[in-house]
Every structure is written in C-alpha cells, then in structure tokens.
Structure 1
Amino acid sequence: MQALLIKDFYMLRKQLKSFVLLILFFTFLSFLLDQGLFLISMALIVGTLQVTTAFTFEEMCHWDRYAGALPITKKMIIGSKYALSLALTGGSIIFISPVLFLVNLGHNTLTLQEIFAIVAVAMTVGLVITSVIIPVYIKYGSTKGRSILFAITFFPAFGIGMFTNSSQMPSAETLNKIMTVTYFAPLIALFLLAISYLISVKLYSRKQF
C-alpha cells in the first residue's frame, strides 16, 4: 500500500503545488478579513478534493486495468485512496491550525479551547465528506461523481461560512455545544469512514475492467 500511496503523491505533485498556493491565498484573505473560519472551510474542501483528482487521472489513463496485472489486491488499492485522503485532510488541518491561532491572536475573539473545538469539527467534516465521495466516485465515475461532490461539499462550506458572514460571533451556549460535540464527532466520523471503506471495497470488487 505504501507504494500505491507514493504513486498517488507523485501523480498529484503539480496539483499539490497549486493546493499550497491556494492555501497561502486563503491565509492572506484570513488575515485581511479576520475570517479564520473561512480559511478552515476552504482549505478543508480543497484538501478533500485532491483525492478525487487522483481518481480522475487514473480513469483517464485506465490505471485499473493495469493494476489488475500487478500483485496487489483491490483492498490495497482502495485502502491507498483512504490513506491519501486522510493524509491530505490531516495535512490541511495541521497547516491551517497555527494560522487560525495567529489570526485570532490579534483579535482575541476565540479562546484556545474554542479554536481546538473548531479545528476538530472541521476535521470531522473532512472525514465525513471523504466517507461519501470515495464510494460515489467508485460507483459512478469521475463525471457523475463530480456533480455529486459539488452538492456534498457546498452545503458544509455554506454552513461554516454562515459564521464568517455574521458580524457577531456565536453565543457562548452555541460554542459550548460545539465543543461538546467535538468529544464524540471525530469518533463517529472514523466509524463512518470504516463503513465507507467496506462499502468501497465491495463496490470496487464488483467492477469489471
């Protein structure tokens, strides 16, 4: 699986460079507009989208037919996609968390505990999106999957963006509820990811190349 993961990163080299540039652009906007939540939502979506790019490239070059002749199992192929998505989502969160802290440092609008809660919720959203888009791309391919992807990423981004478009921060009661959810949300998201993996393996095993 490690070789498959390395293959995906090599395939996405140019895309990852663009991803870094986008993150830097969103970082600049966050400092300019004092919208740290905007940075999290956009970075999360861009990071999650990279795994779909891998699916699209492989579909264009008929990678699945070639992979059938290699000494690798279909479980390993699917597992590498989940590992790639986790690496991209986790890397995005790790990169933007210090930026969010610095943005907040100059305005002191959130406590450190609230920042950790927001980051945890953002990571949970990324895991849930991953749990949905990988089976969708396996089932429907990149063309139809792209339309479904737009729908499932637009609404979470819009929901997070509602905070940034408001002139007032959420109430203390709302923030407390968010922090309470963060204790359980990542575990639920990981459970959904495990179920998604099993579904993806089953879908991929049925495909004929």
Structure 2
Amino acid sequence: MTGLLLKDILNLKSNFKTLIPITIFYICLLKFLGDEGLYRGIAAFMFANEAIASFSYDYMAKWDKYALSLPIKRADLVKSKYILAIMYILLGCIFSFFMDVILGYFDGTPNILQKLLTAYVFLIFVSIMISIRIPILYKFGMRKSTIASLFVIAFPIVLEFVMKKLGVNPLSDNIQLLILALSPLILALIIFISCLVSCNIYNSKEV
C-alpha cells in the first residue's frame, strides 16, 4: 500500500510547481470578486483534482495491466486511490485555511475558529464529491467519465448559486454547525460505501 501511494505522490510531485501559484491566484481573485464561498474552498477542489489526475497517469502508462501482474490485490489498488485523495483534500483544506487567515488579517476578519470550521465544511463537501467521482472513473474510465465528472464538479457551484438566489447562506453558522454535527459518521459511511462500490467495479473489470 505504501509503495502504491509513493508511486502516485512521485508522479504528481512536479505538478506542485504550478498548483500552488495557480491556487493562490484563484483564491486572491475570488476574494477580490467577493465570492466568500468559493474562494475558501477552491484549494480543496484543486488539490482533490490532483489526486484524480493520478488516474490519467495510470491510464497513459498502462499501469493497471502491469500492476495486476504483480502480487498486488485489486482492493489495495483501489484503497490507495482513496487514501491519496483524502491526503490531497486535507492538504488543500489546510492550505485554504492558512490563506484565509492571512487574507483575513488584511480585511479585518481574523476569526480563526470560524475559518477553521469553514475549512472543515469544505473537507466534508469535497470528500463527498470525490467519493462520487472515483466509482465513476472505475466504471467508465478516464475518457468516458469526463462528462459525468464535469456534472459532479459543477454541482457545488450550481448549488451555491441556487442557495443564494433562495436567500440561504451556504456558509451560515447554522448550516456549518449542522454539517459539523452530522458529518463524521456520515462521511465515513459515504467513503466506505464508495470504496466498496469501486472495489466491486474494479474486481469485475477486465483490464
């Protein structure tokens, strides 16, 4: 399992040279445009997308065919992708939190506890999105899953827009506290079910 994770981390390592400055640019741009919701979560989305990019590297290198010739369980290949995704989402949320704190000192909103809670909300939200995307990737592959993945990516943006039109603040204290109370068990269940589904798809798939 460790070797599988190291393989993906090394493949994605060079992307950090562009990922960090691009993420900082979008955070600052969205902050300037006044999008309070998206600027705090964009880092989590972008970092999570890096974990998804590991599927592209595997596809181009025909990694699955090689890996299955080794004494590696299919379930371990799947689980390593989930662990990688969670690691990158955590990194994205931590990065987003520190950027939010830094920008907060410039605009006079240095409420660290509130920003920490917001980062946690995005951790939950992006983790759920990834739990939906990974089974789709295993089912349809990188090319065929593109359209479905775009719908998953667009969903939070559309949801935020609809909630604002309805006069509901998606980052209100009440909503965040509700997510905080319900999230740990629900998130663990969602990831567990998603991993089971992905394992079943991959086990029945001919590579």
TM superposition score normalised by structure 1: 0.86
In the TM superposition, residue 141 of structure 1 has moved relative to its aligned partner by 0.4
Q: Which residue in 1 is equivalent to 2:192? A: 194
Moved more, 20-29 or 153-162: 153-162
In the TM superposition, residue 111 of structure 1 has moved relative to its aligned partner by 3.9
Choose the corresponding residue for 2:179, options 169, 178, 181: 181
Moved more, 70-79 or 35-44: 35-44
Give the Cα–Cα distance (whole angstroms) in 2 for the partners of residues 101 and 207 of structure 1: 45
Contact 2:27–2:40 (Cα < 8 Å) also in 1: no
SS of 2:107's partner is coil
Judging changes above 3 Å, is the alpha-carbon distance between structure 1 residues 111 and 77 closer, same or farther for their aligned structure 2 residues?
same
Give the Cα–Cα distance (whole angstroms) in 2 for the partners of residues 151 and 137 of structure 1: 13
List gaps (5 residues or longer) in structure 2: none
In the TM superposition, residue 153 of structure 1 has moved relative to its aligned partner by 1.2
Q: Which residue in 1 is equivalent to 2:10? A: 10
Give the Cα–Cα distance (whole angstroms) in 2 for the partners of residues 95 and 169 of structure 1: 27
Q: Which residue in 1 is equivalent to 2:99? A: 99
Give the Cα–Cα distance (whole angstroms) in 1 for the partners of residues 53 and 6 of structure 2: 15
In the TM superposition, residue 145 of structure 1 has moved relative to its aligned partner by 1.4
Judging changes above 3 Å, is the alpha-carbon distance between structure 1 residues 129 and 169 closer, same or farther for their aligned structure 2 residues?
closer
CA deviations over 1:83-116 (Å, ceiling 9, x no partner): 1101110000111101112222333457444323
- 1:85 counterpart letter in structure 2: A
Give the Cα–Cα distance (whole angstroms) in 1 for the partners of residues 50 and 161 of structure 2: 21
CA deviations over 1:27-82 (Å, ceiling 9, x no partner): 43255445553323322221121122111221122111101111211111111101
In the TM superposition, residue 25 of structure 1 has moved relative to its aligned partner by 1.3
In the TM superposition, residue 178 of structure 1 has moved relative to its aligned partner by 2.1
Judging changes above 3 Å, is the alpha-carbon distance between structure 1 residues 146 and 14 closer, same or farther for their aligned structure 2 residues?
farther
- 1:202 counterpart letter in structure 2: N
- 2:132 counterpart letter in structure 1: V
Give the Cα–Cα distance (whole angstroms) in 2 for the partners of residues 201 and 4 of structure 1: 16
Give the Cα–Cα distance (whole angstroms) in 1 for the partners of residues 105 and 158 of structure 2: 25
Give the Cα–Cα distance (whole angstroms) in 2 for the partners of residues 129 and 169 of structure 1: 21
Contact 1:138–1:204 (Cα < 8 Å) also in 2: yes
Give the Cα–Cα distance (whole angstroms) in 2 for the partners of residues 2 and 107 of structure 1: 42
Give the Cα–Cα distance (whole angstroms) in 1 for the partners of residues 109 and 168 of structure 2: 8
Give the Cα–Cα distance (whole angstroms) in 2 for the partners of residues 171 and 141 of structure 1: 33
Q: Which residue in 1 is equivalent to 2:201? A: 203
In the TM superposition, residue 11 of structure 1 has moved relative to its aligned partner by 1.4
Greater relative contact order (CA < 8 Å, ≥ 6 in sequence): 1
Q: Which residue in 2 is equivalent to 1:66? A: 66
Give the Cα–Cα distance (whole angstroms) in 1 for the partners of residues 192 and 8 of structure 2: 21
List gaps (5 residues or longer) in structure 1: none
